[in-house]
């Protein structure tokens, strides 16, 4: 494997952290750089995988997970949530435009696909917008959608041929697919007008609602990002990050760096902590799915105890305990729910969890003295709770 795209550390399978190693037919390995936490997936047959991905996306299929449902499964991006995603991206862009002192800014949407978001921008923002989409079947669709579209990859759109620069360059879920993300970001920096801003969005390993294998780590994603890894990569490409929006999708806002490309690694959680957080999130999601499917059976509880005690990452153990508490609360077994919440608090003193524990303890005490028929039904917040473990754990 090539050296780390962000910090330049040479690959070494002894010191790089193996995040996941598929034993299936694909032979897919994902490693984290021990210096900056940028992840790299090494997989053969990349071109055929990319072709399959493009065909699938063109048919309207996408497996982008926007959130996690009550049973621990990713909520996939159906047409409605894709629309919601585009609305959120428009709000991101509007925030960025506050930094641009220009009446009609010029915006470039790199990897515009079939042009849906680009069309939304043209319809809602006072600007001149154009798209860039090298995949011909998407490019044709974007042109049919009325988007002024360039058919080259950014890297092959030579600056000398076309000296045009942009006030805002925006791209969504593109960088993780590229073999050379640093060269791509250098081209982004070169295309920024003075004072211009780049808005880069990628999937965030640290706030995933998916398990690693088969869900988050897809073979057509060559790069795996944490906030620290992406910010370091931007610096290495001559961009200076000055704002980050965290979530399932990580968005980093950059200007062209005044000091050029630097090797400075951005501060953040170390790579071992990132890996521990990702592995314990896998355990949490798998357990949540099992509990939602099979309920709090004796067999599942034995498994839950084993998973909980086998998890070496305290923040991950705290979240696993919350999942078991939620399963008990759903079946009205309040004493057990309280017991698991106390276990969670032993690993992480979370005021939100402490408050929930007090609420459930209070209801449990009242139930002990009241008859079941006189007790009004109380809906706890816990059943609705969506856990964002990494936000609290390491971000
Ligand atoms: Zn690195």
3-state secondary structure 299-312: HHHHHHHHHHHHCC
Contact yes or no for 311/320 (Cβ under 8 A): yes
CA 122 to chain centre: 27
C-alpha 9 to ligand 1 mean position (Å): 6
Ligand 1 center–CA 265 separation, angstroms: 8
Across the chain, where does the E strand assignment appear? 17-21, 29-32, 39-42, 65-68, 74-76, 106-110, 128-132, 149-150, 166-172, 192-203, 223-224, 239-245, 249-256
Cα of 115 vs centre of ligand 1, distance in Å, is 33
Q: Which of 119-133, 138-152, 204-218 has the lowest mean pLDDT?
A: 204-218
Q: What is the pLDDT of residue 383?
A: 41
CA torsion, ordered 293, 212, 35, 316, to nearest 10 deg: 0
Domains 62-267 and 273-393 alike in fold: no
User: In the predicted model, is pLDDT for residue 376 greater than 90?
Assistant: no
The two tokens of residue 239 are 């961009």
Task: Return the number of other C-beta atoms located less than 10 Å from residue 335's C-beta.
Answer: 12
Residue 9, pLDDT above cutoff 80: yes
Q: What is the pLDDT of residues 267-292, one digit of tens each?
A: 888 999 999 989 988 889 989 999 98
SS percent in the chain: helix, strand, coil, step 5: 45, 20, 35
Q: 264: pLDDT confidence band, cut at 50, 70 and 90?
A: confident
Distance 33 CA to ligand 1 centre (A): 5
- Tell me how many helices (H) and strands (E) the chain has: 12, 13
Assigned CATH class of 273-393: mainly alpha
Ligand 1 centroid distance, CA of 198 (Å): 22
Q: How far is the CA of 85 from the centre of ligand 1 (A)?
A: 30
Query: What pLDDT is attached to residue 83?
Result: 72
Model confidence at 370, pLDDT cuts 50, 70, 90, reads low
Q: How far is the CA of 187 from the centre of ligand 1 (A)?
A: 20
- Residue of 346 and 145 predicted with greater confidence: 346
- Beta strands 29-32 and 106-110 are unpaired
Indicate if the pLDDT at residue 224 is higher than 80.
Answer: yes
Q: Mean per-residue pLDDT for 74-91?
A: 72
The CA 29 to ligand 1 mean position distance, Å, reads 17
Whole-number Å distance between alpha carbons of 273 and 267: 13
- Give me ligand 1 centre to Cα 153, in Å: 25
Average pLDDT on 213-242 reads: 89
CB 50 within 8 A of CB 177: yes
First CA to last CA across the chain, in angstroms?
28
pLDDT tens sequence across 31-72: 999 999 999 988 665 555 555 555 555 444 444 444 566 776
- Ligand 1 centroid from CA 270, angstroms: 11
Ligand 1 centre distance from Cα of residue 10 (Å) = 9
pLDDT attached to residue 303: 92
Q: What are the sequence ranges of the domains in the chain?
A: 62-267, 273-393
The CA 11 to ligand 1 mean position distance, Å, reads 9
Question: Ligand 1 mean position to 50 CA, how many Å?
Answer: 25
The whole-angstrom separation of Cα 217 and Cα 210 is 9
Residue 185 confidence (pLDDT): 96
Q: Which tokens go with 191? A: 């295309």
Per-chain mean pLDDT for the chain: 83
Fold for the domain defined by 62-267? Rossmann fold (3.40.50)
Two structure tokens written together for 104:
């009609």
Per residue in 318-361, pLDDT tens?
999 999 998 998 888 899 999 999 999 999 999 999 999 999 99
Look up residue 230 and give its two tokens: 């992406």
Q: How far is the CA of 121 from the centre of ligand 1 (A)?
A: 35
Q: pLDDT confidence of 213, banded at 50, 70, 90? A: confident
Question: What average pLDDT does range 114-120 have in this prediction?
Answer: 90
Q: How far is the CA of 14 from the centre of ligand 1 (A)?
A: 15
343 contacts: CB under 8 Å, gap ≥ 6: 308, 317, 321
- Averaged over 147-165, what is the pLDDT? 82
């Amino acid at each position: 494997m090539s050296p780390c795209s962000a910090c330049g550390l040479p690959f070494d399978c002894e010191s790089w952290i193996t995040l996941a190693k598929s034993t299936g037919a694909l032979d897919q390995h994902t490693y984290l750089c021990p210096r900056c936490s940028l992840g790299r997936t090494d997989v053969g047959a990349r071109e055929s995988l990319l072709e399959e991905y493009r065909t699938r996306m063109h048919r309207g299929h996408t497996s982008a997970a926007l959130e996690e449902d009550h049973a621990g499964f990713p909520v996939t991006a159906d047409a409605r949530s894709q629309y919601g995603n585009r609305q959120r991206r428009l709000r991101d862009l509007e925030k960025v435009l506050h930094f641009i002192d220009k009446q009609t800014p010029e915006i470039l949407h790199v990897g515009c696909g079939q042009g849906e978001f680009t069309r939304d921008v043209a319809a809602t923002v006072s600007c001149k917008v154009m798209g860039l989409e090298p995949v011909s079947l998407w490019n044709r669709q974007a042109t049919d959608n009325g988007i002024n579209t360039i058919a080259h990859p950014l890297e092959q759109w030579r600056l000398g041929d076309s000296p045009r620069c942009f006030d805002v360059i925006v791209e969504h879920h593109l960088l993780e697919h590229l073999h050379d993300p640093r060269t791509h970001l250098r081209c982004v920096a070169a295309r920024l007008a003075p004072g211009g801003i780049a808005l880069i969005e990628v999937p965030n390993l640290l706030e995933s609602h998916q398990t690693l294998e088969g869900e988050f780590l897809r073979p057509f994603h060559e790069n795996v990002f944490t906030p620290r890894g992406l910010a370091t990569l931007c610096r290495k490409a001559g961009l200076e990050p000055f704002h980050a929006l965290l979530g399932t999708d990580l968005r980093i806002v950059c200007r062209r760096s005044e000091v050029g490309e630097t090797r400075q690694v951005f501060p953040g959680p170390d790579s071992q902590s990132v890996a521990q957080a990702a592995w314990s999130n896998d355990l949490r999601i798998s357990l949540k799915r099992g509990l939602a499917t099979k309920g709090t059976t004796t067999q599942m509880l034995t498994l839950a105890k084993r998973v909980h005690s086998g998890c070496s990452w305290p923040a991950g153990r705290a979240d696993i305990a919350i999942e078991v508490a939620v399963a008990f609360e759903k079946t009205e077994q309040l004493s057990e729910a309280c017991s698991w919440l106390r276990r969670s608090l032993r690993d992480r003193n979370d005021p939100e969890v402490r408050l929930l524990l007090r609420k459930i303890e209070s209801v449990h005490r009242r139930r002990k003295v009241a008859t079941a028929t006189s007790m009004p039904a109380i809906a706890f917040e816990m059943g609705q709770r969506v856990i964002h473990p990494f936000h609290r754990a390491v971000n």
